[in-house]
Structure 1
Amino acid sequence: MLATLSGCGLLGGDDAGSTAAPQGTGAVEKAKIKVGVLPVVDVAPFYLAVEQGYFKEQGLDVEPVVMGSGPAAISGILNGDLDIAFASYPAPLLAQSKRVADFKIVADALAAKPGHLVVVSPPNSTMKKPSDAPGRKIAITAKNSMTDLAPMSVLKTQGVDYTQVNWIEMPFPNMITAMQNGEVDGAVVVEPWVTVAEKQLGATPVFDGASGPTAEIPMSGYVAISGNGKFATTSPNTIAAFQRGLARAQSQATDRPKMEEMFVKYAKVDPQTAKLVTISTYSTSLEANRIQRVANLMTEFGVIKGELDVSTMIPNTGATAGS
């Protein structure tokens, strides 16, 4: 269930489309917080906020904790080792639907632009277009993640039988070798792996996973746990301070040199690749109606049973894009 977590918008209120900056301006309840992150491009603005002192300006001492996997990050907030965790949206949304805990989305991280989430194939492959996908082995990080849900949505819209695709689970770093060795016919990769696959293998795009029904779809955010004695309940001013610090950094994410520096230092991308990586949308607002698209996608493909109202997952800290 917690199979994936990796890569969208910030702050929020009670309604489905709130976009104001956090109003919780009182003293923070917890000055030192631990935030679980993964070595992915989605968290580049978070590290910029740490390096530039944007969190410190808000009275926070933020300690990044690099986690080995998305599930480990979710486990970290569930057991209290972390206050906030970066996550690919399907994992906390599924956990919320199963009432594993009361998850709150405290900040949006990244929404996919064209070129960020791509189905690719090796240069000698006969899989060249979406209609070639049925019957093929295609690598994904995990089932019921953005890496299979988004491509399935695109295939369904184009009238292609997505149920005949053989999805093969493996980590991103293994996908290039698997394509090279003929173990899979293609792979669903996100940046920086799109660029790495193109550089190292000469991989070619088959279709964009963030297009048509999934265009600009939110990929990831930062979550916390609510409830008696839990961080999201006991520390609203701390969350608002985190939101303001992160929003300031995310508003600078169009500064490519700044983002490239963070990619190299924290996503472990080499400088040449960093210059080629597609930079997606780092949001400065937290809008439930946008993230609701992910929940609806999960419901459409039977991952979530019934309906999940994402607006209930937005903490009531007030709201506005930070600056």
Structure 2
Amino acid sequence: MIKRSLLALTLSAATLAGSACAVAGEEKPLRVGYVFAMANAPALIADKQGYYREEGLNVDLKALGDGPVIQQALAAGELDVAYAGTPPVYQWFSRGLQSRILAKVNYGQAAVIVDAKSPITDLQALKGKKLAGVKKGSGMDVLLRGYVLKEKAGLDPDKDLDIVDMPPGNMNAALERGIVDAAFSWEPFVSQSVLRGSSRILLDVNQALPQYPWYVVIALPKTLQERPDEVVKLLRAHRKAIAFLNEHPAESNRLIAEAFKLEAVQGTDGKIIAPQAIVAQARTRLGWSADLQASDIQFIQRLMDYSHDLGFIDTTLKTEQIVDTSYLEKAAH
């Protein structure tokens, strides 16, 4: 009798421990990282507007510097899901970190700018000039070298001009001081420079490639296997955030300006231009959408082909290996 009682107590304790573990498992936060860029506003909006909580999610949201840092955090097991540029995703995929692209975040954001008084009027005139860009092999560098320079301008990015690697936050000052002749930049830096009157746009990539996808939501296979329901809920919150951005531009512009600590700029007429106006200007070159259309997937394939042709990856990849829209489809219901 005593033995049975002890056995019953042991089983009860085990059941309670199992229940506690299950509860703890449910409360385990979904660790979400995002590149700290205006185009990734849906991650911030989902958090600020309470869309993650509405879906019953416990999200630990982390802002990180760039795509490679995001990939390193994923590889180290420090993140479950991320908002990142497409090229770092497939570059790391080719090295063994086989994340899946689940949804689109934004389209547009990049532009080539020159000094307002520059004699340069077309991309071909960049030959022999200095252009501010980012780290060779990075996502934006793939777009610059593969599309803007090789395909659009017919230039050899390694021989026909000097690409100067610098942080995007330094590009406007370098352009104003004549250190470089042009810059390949993105929002909000492009709009800040244009509104100040110190530069003009030589190429708006979103006009040349309407609604080209850039940032995407990605997840590790381990996350998809172990936490599929939470991934669907996250994508549902992502859809809600994008709807808010598109349906409430004034309010979302204010939230974005606050989140990215944008400062007012002074125009050529001396008038002060508010931070929200910078975001509104940026919206003329970027926007938000969750759905991965056939054209988006084709563009991702183009990026992968550019990277292969430029020697940044030595594997030929196909989008079927890396894109999985099934979770986004579930999030639509």
TM-score in terms of structure 1 length: 0.80
Hey, what does 2:269 align to over in structure 1? Answer: none
Matches within 5 A, 1:181-260: 181-200=177-196, 202-212=198-208, 214-226=209-221, 230-254=222-246, 255-260=248-253
2:328 & 2:47 partners in 1: Cα distance? 23
Hey, what does 1:139 align to over in structure 2? Answer: 132
CA contact (8 A) 1:111 1:219 kept: yes
2:156 corresponds, among 156, 162, 165, to 162
Unaligned runs of 5+ in 1: 1-27
Displacement of 1:128: 2.3
Instruction: Say if 2:270 is the partner of 1:261.
Output: no
CA contact (8 A) 2:129 2:161 kept: yes
Displacement of 1:222: 2.1
Displacement of 1:158: 4.5
Residues 30-66 of structure 1, C-alpha deviation per residue, up to 9 Å, x if partnerless? 6521211233111212222112222222220222212
When Rg is computed on C-alpha atoms for both structures, the one with the higher figure is 2
Residues 182-209 of structure 1, C-alpha deviation per residue, up to 9 Å, x if partnerless? 2211101111111011134511111223
Hey, what does 1:32 align to over in structure 2? Answer: 29
CA contact (8 A) 1:118 1:190 kept: yes
2:56 & 2:152 partners in 1: Cα distance? 50
Q: 3-state DSSP class of the match of 1:239?
A: helix
Hey, what does 1:273 align to over in structure 2? Answer: 278
- Amino acid of the structure 2 residue aligned with 1:244: R
CA contact (8 A) 1:232 1:239 kept: yes
- Amino acid of the structure 1 residue aligned with 2:218: V
Hey, what does 2:67 align to over in structure 1? Answer: 70
CA contact (8 A) 1:31 1:60 kept: no
Residues 132-159 of structure 1, C-alpha deviation per residue, up to 9 Å, x if partnerless? 1111111112223443333442444455
- Amino acid of the structure 1 residue aligned with 2:313: I
2:153 & 2:101 partners in 1: Cα distance? 34
Displacement of 1:321: 6.4
Hey, what does 2:50 align to over in structure 1? Answer: 53
Q: 3-state DSSP class of the match of 1:124?
A: coil
Question: Higher helix fraction: Structure 1 or Structure 2?
Answer: 2
Instruction: Say if 2:41 is the partner of 1:44.
Output: yes
Hey, what does 2:312 align to over in structure 1? Answer: 303
- Amino acid of the structure 2 residue aligned with 1:44: A
CA contact (8 A) 2:89 2:99 kept: yes
2:49 & 2:205 partners in 1: Cα distance? 33
- Calculate percent identity across the aligned residue pairs: 23
Hey, what does 1:282 align to over in structure 2? Answer: 288
Displacement of 1:238: 1.2
CA contact (8 A) 2:103 2:218 kept: yes
Hey, what does 1:104 align to over in structure 2? Answer: 100
Displacement of 1:300: 4.2
Displacement of 1:211: 4.5
Instruction: Say if 2:331 is the partner of 1:313.
Output: no
1:34 & 1:98 partners in 2: Cα distance? 23
2:186 & 2:32 partners in 1: Cα distance? 22
Q: Which has the higher contact order (CA 8 A, sep 6+)?
A: 1
Q: 3-state DSSP class of the match of 1:184?
A: coil
Residues 186/249 of structure 1: CA separation in 2 closer, same or farther (3 Å cut): same
1:106 & 1:308 partners in 2: Cα distance? 17
Residues 267-291 of structure 1, C-alpha deviation per residue, up to 9 Å, x if partnerless? 2222342232225231222344453
Instruction: Say if 2:332 is the partner of 1:322.
Output: yes
Paired positions, count: 288
- How big is the alpha-carbon RMSD for the aligned residues of Structure 1 and Structure 2? 2.5
Unaligned runs of 5+ in 2: 1-24, 263-274
